[in-house]
A and B are shown apart, each in its own frame.
Chain A
């Protein structure tokens, strides 16, 4: 995907927009532009947008507090300050479908068995007593489950993997707004970079997992196991939606890779992968071993003197 050479509508200067960019700023007059392209199967027009609620100052504050938290992170990381903050409207798909699931499961139904046994009482006599114990009768159950699966959010960006997006979810989808170009004006906004097939695959896996969760609540009995199910999706829909994310790169040492923090631009929830300091882990293990050894020594000494 190559860049686009466009013209700034304000000053006429050449404006180069990356292939994945939905917005740009003129380097000469600083005018914010929104890039409009003919839609394609992999780049449908956005349907919805969620606006920013968290200010950049608040996002930085939250990120600083988050950096201090990981116990086993290097000291430099815990003291690091994010030097840059970028607001990004990330493309995601909102997936919904009508699902029809065929399932089978082993359902455990408990029952109580009373049995007699002989034992010796405190005076050494042989006595007969009864006791009850719970046993489970397993029965096979097959059935159908039909329900709507909705509001599954999957990434449409190669830059933000789905597990990182899940790290900052949920978004309050009651705040969805109909997409308008002026919402992304002045902000970095990305076009989908994953193909629609890749996104449908991600969404179907999420939908199947959601059906599995509902199925676990749905099954009767006192317990269940060996649950298998096959879900068919009908009337699937993917609505391209732009979600607000603050991106903060953290460089804590010149020889270490940059750690990227993502902050949910609506709720302030943070995702990041803190590095682990081997030295801190060794010190912690030694400390625990020292405490255990001290406790064992104290017990041994108490035993010796008593």
Chain B
């Protein structure tokens, strides 16, 4: 949602080309209405043949009954969104593979002993996953029950209102990465160096937003409300709360469509494939699945059972002796 026109005069949120109304507060966007200086009867004529045109319910547009040409009406544009800025890769594919190897070696006691040596990387795809980055000012009204000031009931009602500045709130639009994965990857990106176009990266995949502008705005509004509710928790007095409700009056909402770099790797251990995501700028951030050794788990359980049995035997002997 790039600012390309003068912002909304009510909420100062950006207006994009093709908007008939502000997406946040519904204020109509300015338009040049032709103003008649005196009363007159005007016949709307077809630009093709000059005949009078009338609105035709069957084509839902003004249509010339003689030549059949249809007049296009201006409506809110609802295009599929595309990334407008790219965060560059700072990790090359070889480093990502090395990071995977190192990560496999740190998978804990239950990892198979030969996990590092017997794992083979099957695929490595540099992927720019997409997200909206939001900045906004909000006036948040909240109400909730909490244990502060409670008397006979465990709960007492509280309410409040506070301004909230949201800065660089990232809302994932990725279809390929899960919410947990994008949440873990996000803090590692340096947002300073943005590119207007993707740099050369062989085999790179650039995700699409896959939602229209109107749906994107709903997702963004829900994310802002969820973040406001999360921040409002700190304003509730007491140590426990319930039934938190927030109402958000947004101002100056600006949204950038960004593409973040990552590597999506698949590695094979024995006959199973596992998926791992390596951060595109910080190779120490790796998320994914790894196998567990069934033998180690069985030995651990057996050892635990044996230990419990010994403890029970000792306890029984002490009981008999006593």
Which residues in B have their C-beta under 8 angstroms from that of A111? Answer: 152-154
Which residues in B have their C-beta under 8 angstroms from that of A220? Answer: 143-145, 155, 157-159, 242-245
Which residues in A have their C-beta under 8 angstroms from that of B208? Answer: none
Asked whether, in the complex, the Cβ of B42 is within 8 Å of the Cβ of A36, the reply is yes
Convert A218-240 into 0s and 1s, putting 1 for each residue whose CB lies closer than 8 angstroms to a CB of B. 11110000000000000101010
* A9–B51 alpha-carbon span in the complex (Å): 12
- Chain A contributes a number of interface residues (CB within 8 A of B) equal to 73
A32 within 8 A of B: yes
In the complex, chain B residues 81-108 whose Cβ is within 8 Å of any chain A Cβ:
none
Nearest chain-B residue to A180 (Cβ)? B73
B43 within 8 A of A: yes
* A33–B43 alpha-carbon span in the complex (Å): 5
> With contacts A6-B41, A96-B26, A174-B214 known, is A145 near B10, CB below 8 A?
no
Asked whether, in the complex, the Cβ of B247 is within 8 Å of the Cβ of A146, the reply is yes
Asked whether, in the complex, the Cβ of B55 is within 8 Å of the Cβ of A55, the reply is no
- Chain B contributes a number of interface residues (CB within 8 A of A) equal to 62
Asked whether, in the complex, the Cβ of A34 is within 8 Å of the Cβ of B42, the reply is yes
Nearest chain-A residue to B58 (Cβ)? A55
In the complex, chain A residues 197-249 whose Cβ is within 8 Å of any chain B Cβ:
214, 217-221, 235, 237, 239
Asked whether, in the complex, the Cβ of A183 is within 8 Å of the Cβ of B161, the reply is no
Asked whether, in the complex, the Cβ of B36 is within 8 Å of the Cβ of A37, the reply is yes
Which residues in A have their C-beta under 8 angstroms from that of B9? Answer: 235
A8 within 8 A of B: yes
Convert A165-191 into 0s and 1s, putting 1 for each residue whose CB lies closer than 8 angstroms to a CB of B. 000000000111111111111110000
Asked whether, in the complex, the Cβ of A35 is within 8 Å of the Cβ of B31, the reply is no
Q: Which of B17-25, B182-190, B194-202, B256-264 contacts A (4 or more CB under 8 A)?
A: B17-25
A85 within 8 A of B: no
Asked whether, in the complex, the Cβ of B25 is within 8 Å of the Cβ of A148, the reply is yes
Asked whether, in the complex, the Cβ of A182 is within 8 Å of the Cβ of B141, the reply is no
In the complex, chain A residues 142-165 whose Cβ is within 8 Å of any chain B Cβ:
142-148, 150-151
> With contacts A185-B62, A220-B145 known, is A35 near B55, CB below 8 A?
no
Asked whether, in the complex, the Cβ of A185 is within 8 Å of the Cβ of B41, the reply is no
Convert A241-260 into 0s and 1s, putting 1 for each residue whose CB lies closer than 8 angstroms to a CB of B. 00000000000000000000
Q: Which of A44-52, A71-79, A118-126, A275-283 contacts B (4 or more CB under 8 A)?
A: A44-52
Asked whether, in the complex, the Cβ of A218 is within 8 Å of the Cβ of B161, the reply is no
B54 within 8 A of A: yes
Which residues in A have their C-beta under 8 angstroms from that of B39? Answer: 4, 6, 35-38
A262 within 8 A of B: no
Which residues in B have their C-beta under 8 angstroms from that of A31? Answer: 43, 52
Q: For residue A24, give the distance in angstroms from its CB to the closest CB of chain B.
A: 6
* A221–B107 alpha-carbon span in the complex (Å): 47
Q: Which of B10, B41, B76, B157 contacts A141 (CB 8 A)?
A: B157
B273 within 8 A of A: no
Asked whether, in the complex, the Cβ of B62 is within 8 Å of the Cβ of A143, the reply is no
* A53–B58 alpha-carbon span in the complex (Å): 7
A7 within 8 A of B: yes
> With contacts A55-B58, A147-B247 known, is A7 near B33, CB below 8 A?
no
Nearest 10 pairs between A and B by C-beta? Answer: A186-B54, A143-B159, A150-B26, A109-B153, A36-B36, A182-B44, A33-B41, A178-B74, A182-B62, A111-B153
Chain B interface (Cβ within 8 Å of chain A)?
A: 9-11, 20-21, 24-28, 31, 33-44, 52-55, 57-58, 60-62, 71, 73-76, 139, 141, 143-145, 150-161, 214, 242-245, 247-249
28 contacts between A and B (CB under 8 A): A6-B41, A10-B52, A32-B43, A32-B54, A34-B43, A35-B40, A37-B36, A45-B35, A47-B28, A51-B57, A53-B60, A55-B58, A56-B57, A98-B10, A109-B157, A135-B152, A143-B143, A144-B159, A146-B139, A146-B249, A151-B26, A175-B75, A176-B21, A177-B75, A181-B42, A182-B53, A219-B143, A221-B157
With A137-B153, A176-B21 given, name 13 new contacts (CB 8 A). A6-B40, A35-B41, A36-B42, A142-B159, A143-B160, A148-B24, A175-B75, A181-B42, A183-B55, A187-B54, A218-B247, A220-B145, A221-B145
